[in-house]
Amino acid sequence: MIGRSIGVVADGTDGHLPADLINPLFAFSLNRKLRYLYDGDYFRFKDKNGEADYPSATPDMSEDVSLVKIYDQKEKHGYTNEDAIQEDVALQPKVELRDGYYRAVFDGTNSLSIAQSQHIGDEFYILITAISDYPRPALGVWGEDQSITVEPSTEAVGKFTVNRNRGAMQAGVSNNTYGCFYGIDPNQNGQQVMSVNEFGHNVEATELSSLDNIAIGKSGLRYYIGEVLEVIMHLGDLKKKWGDLLTNKTQEIYKDYQ
């Protein structure tokens, strides 16, 4: 039995599942399908009975449950599916079930790696549902001297960063779902902008050409303390207005998440 199959019917009837409108670079969720035709599992876990996949099997929450991987739900021509994975058992985040939501819980020592960094360019849209008390990288993309981070926070102003450019993620806004855009906005005279939940500003264009790593739960040597439900990243083929539409839909689905 699926713990909570949120959004599948209501979202699908409108044709706005996040991985359907435009095919993303990756699409991860612990609680729902992100593509209408997706019929696979959401994540792989390890409980006291061994490893299994959800929702084909349900975790036994009577003891600690580890998160082995989150399955990439996207279907994008020319791109391989790369799951968010942690092979080192000691570094795997935990899975918790509260208020009907499965949550990936990070304690500042664990992370999940994603092998897709070579595809990221100078325009992208990140949609994330996550909670942390203070700004830390729920999602990190980095190289030797370049980085992208998404850092939610309930006790301070969260941060969306692209190298030296920064955008504010206001605490407690929009049910802890954030849509982070970086790229050219036709509504700003074709200028480079960065925005969070439709609010943003013009920024200096910066090169993103040496990104070598992507992870949920860390950026470089900085680790995340908090939880993540869902992460989707689109490239420049998803324009800002359509990304904002997906953000609004996702905020409605997770309106009770806290």
pLDDT digits (tens, 9 = 90+) for 157-188: 889 999 877 776 765 455 799 999 998 877 76
Supply the range of the domain harboring residue 122.
8-253
Run of H or E including 195: strand 191-196
Whether the CA torsion 221, 163, 92, 87 is positive or negative: it is: negative
Tell me the three-class secondary structure of 99-161, residue by residue. CCEEEEEEECCCCEEECCHHHCCCCEEEEEEEECCCCCCCEEEEECCCEEEEECCCCCCEEEE
Establish if 187 belongs to a structural domain: yes
- Is 236 among the domain residues? yes
**Number of domains the chain contains:** 1
Residue 256 or 78, more confident: 256
The pLDDT score that the predictor gives to residue 175 is 76
> Is there a domain that residue 189 lies in?
yes
Q: Which of 205-209, 234-238, 249-253 has the lowest mean pLDDT?
A: 205-209
Instruction: Note whether 90 and 77 are within 8 A (CB).
Output: no
Within-domain flag for 178: yes
Whether 3 is in a domain gets the answer: no
The helix/strand/coil state of 78 is coil
pLDDT of 145 over the 70 cut? yes
DSSP state of 184: E
Sign of the CA dihedral with 144 first, then 195, 76, and 257 last? positive
Has residue 123 been placed in a domain? Answer: yes
Q: What does the pLDDT read at residue 193?
A: 82
The better pLDDT of the pair 152, 200 is held by: 152
Contact 249, 179 (CB under 8 A): no
Task: Please name the residue that has the structure tokens 């449950």.
Answer: 65
| pLDDT band at 200; cut points 50, 70, 90 | low
Higher pLDDT, 21 or 108: 108
At 251, give phi and psi (nearest 5°).
-60, -35
Confirm if 180 and 125 have CB atoms less than 8 A apart. yes
CA distance 54 to 174: 27
Question: In this model, does residue 27 exceed pLDDT 50?
Answer: yes
Residue 13 has pLDDT above 50, yes or no: no
Q: What is the pTM of this model?
A: 0.90
pLDDT of residue 9: 29
The per-residue pLDDT for 11 is 44
Mean pLDDT value across the chain: 87
Confidence (pLDDT) at 198: 74
CA dist., res. 67 & res. 89, Å (int):
9
Q: Does the pLDDT at position 55 exceed 70?
A: yes
Residue 180: the pLDDT is 92
Residue 1 has pLDDT above 50, yes or no: no
For the cut 90, the answer to whether the pLDDT of residue 63 exceeds it is: yes
User: Is the model's pLDDT at 92 over the cut of 60?
Assistant: yes
Residue 37: inside a domain: yes
Q: What's the confidence (pLDDT) of residue 3? A: 41
CATH number where 207 lies: 2.60.120.200
Q: Has residue 52 got a pLDDT over 80?
A: yes
Q: Which residues of 210-239 are buried (b: 16+ CB within 10 A; e: fewer)?
A: ebebbbbbbbeeebbebbbbbbbbbbeebb
pLDDT of residue 185: 77
pLDDT beyond 50 at 8: no
Lowest-pLDDT choice from 11-25, 87-101, 206-220, 234-248: 11-25
* Residue 135 forms part of a structural domain: yes
pLDDT of residue 170: 64
Amino acid identity, residue 199? F
Least confident of 54-68, 128-142, 173-187: 173-187
